[in-house]
Amino acid sequence: MNILLIGSGGREHALAWKLAQSSKCDKLFLAPGNPGTENLGINTGIGVEDFSAIENLVLKENIGMVVVGPEVPLVMGIKDHLLSNPALSSLNIIGPDKMGAQLEGSKDFSKKFMNKYGIPTASSRTFTFQTLNDGVEYVSKHSLPVVLKADGLAAGKGVVIAQTNEEAVATLKEMIQERKFGDSSTKVVVEQFLTGIEVSVFALCDGENYLLLPEAKDYKRIGEGDTGLNTGGMGAVSPVPFVDEIFMQKVEERIVRPTVSGLKKEGINYTGFIFFGLIKVGDEPFTIEYNARMGDPETEAVIPRIKSDLVDIFEDVGTKTLHKTKLEIDSRTTTTVVLVSGGYPEDYEKGFSITGIENAQDVLVFHAGTSKKEGKLVNSGGRVIALTAFGSHIEEALAKANLAADTIQWQKKNYRKDIGLDLLKK
Ligand SMILES: Nc1ncnc2c1ncn2[C@@H]1O[C@H](COP(=O)(O)OP(=O)(O)OP(=O)(O)O)[C@@H](O)[C@H]1O
Ligand SMILES: [Mg+2]
């Protein structure tokens, strides 16, 4: 079968690496792909929002399976677009339709959904321009800290945790009145702050059934010891030591199952990944957010632990037979360390030549923000390369990943050396 994978980050390189290992994968196309996927498939260079070019490619290359990596095309309705072509009605698309992607695309939708189906989450209220005065009144008296979230997609920047009521009022006004995030902040969800430790849980859905994948924990802050600015993600580990069987049972019963059955009750044929952003408060799981795709860098830690054939698993999505799918998992720990451009997540310089990848031992090297300039590999994004190493425990995996991180060089490269170490103290 010919397969198309949409996206160009480390997440997509990891998915491409896994898909290309399947004997069922004939030709793998990427839209657009990155220098790391060059040897795994055909980089088409087609942008993730160019739906008509994607549609033409699917028709021309007789593609039977489309895997959507990032959220933007999902929220824009790539699945709806492709399936509206009668010639593509049997296309197997890994990724939800526009309605299903609202789980991620609208915080207000996801809160209403969680409340309707009794899924534990922070209590909240949503405000708009029409109800701004009520909102100001509400946040000026809210207990602290208080969380304000732009309703729509904001590339991971739409959440503010206000420490004072004045800051909360100012943030609410900035978001709604001054349209800080454009259309994404015409609505704002104001919610109670929960204290606990976060974990990402992933389920693959076929519209009826779900398959749980290994969980992971990601590290968002730029600095060691979880300090400094938020980033797209500086590293991840899987499995997560504090996630035991009892906790996972609660997650499945209270969160995963009601989500999947709720989607069905809403008439949504959800085919694809659900990312449950969870927080463990005491011993109890609460849902912070949903995403309609896999996480990045969590994918780079989770996918290598899956021993089963990923094309087989995705075929089971298409035939709605995930309840019969047996997932074989590597019991070892993976640690993913992300190498970033110096200065990221603020301004950074691009175009430095990257060397030493061929000397990195005992790790998987996934490209994210790299590109080719006059045949040479250079950094072209904030997050440049993700390195995943296996170990019998976090320290062993981390030592390997950090060693490789040292071996790969470009000017001003930066990375965190402490990924996963906080979990050892717990
Ligand atoms: N109610 C809450 N209590 C405590 N912390 C919260 C709460 N809501 C959000 N956060 C913090 O803010 C982060 C971002 O929130 P959320 O996941 O909703 O936003 P997002 O922009 O969709 O994130 P992502 O880019 O990971 O999809 C969370 O990972 C968590 O650390
Ligand atoms: Mg999100």
Taking alpha carbons only, the member of 269, 273, 409, 386 closest to residue 335 is 386
Q: Measured in angstroms, how far is the CA atom of residue 289 from the centroid of ligand 1?
A: 7
Q: Measured in angstroms, how far is the CA atom of residue 189 from the centroid of ligand 2?
A: 13
pLDDT at 280: 98
The 3-state DSSP class for residue 136 equals helix
Domains defined along the chain, listed by start: 2-76 (3.40.50.20), 123-192 (3.30.1490.20), 197-425 (3.30.470.20)
Which tens digit of pLDDT belongs to each residue from 270-297? 999 999 999 999 999 999 999 999 999 9
Q: Which atom of ligand 1 is nearest to the CA of 107?
A: 18
Q: Measured in angstroms, how far is the CA atom of residue 211 from the centroid of ligand 2?
A: 21
Neighbours of 157 (CB within 10 A): 13
**Cα end-to-end span (Å), the chain:** 46
pLDDT at 248: 98
Confidence band, pLDDT 50/70/90 cuts, at residue 426: low
pLDDT at 223: 98
Whether residue 380 contacts residue 370, with contact meaning beta carbons closer than 8 Å, is answered with yes
Q: Which atom of ligand 1 is nearest to the CA of 277?
A: 17
Q: Measured in angstroms, how far is the CA atom of residue 199 from the centroid of ligand 1?
A: 11
Which tens digit of pLDDT belongs to each residue from 149-188? 999 999 888 999 999 999 999 999 999 998 999 899 899 9
Ligand 1, atom 16, lies closest to the CA of 289
Q: Measured in angstroms, how far is the CA atom of residue 288 from the centroid of ligand 1?
A: 6
Q: Could you list which residues have their CB under 5 Å from ion ligand 2? A: 289, 291
Q: Where are the beta strands (DSSP E) in 176-315?
A: 187-192, 197-206, 210-212, 217-223, 227-238, 271-281, 284-291
Which tens digit of pLDDT belongs to each residue from 220-269? 999 999 999 999 999 999 999 999 999 999 999 999 999 999 999 999 99
Taking alpha carbons only, the member of 245, 250, 243 closest to residue 217 is 243
C-alpha to C-alpha distance for 12 and 233, rounded to whole angstroms: 15
Which residue ranges have their beta carbon within 6 Å of ligand 1? Answer: 122, 147, 149, 156, 158-159, 191-194, 198, 277, 288-289, 291
Q: Which residues of 195-205 are buried (b: 16+ CB within 10 A; e: fewer)?
A: eeeebbbbbbb
Residue 119, both tokens: 């899924």
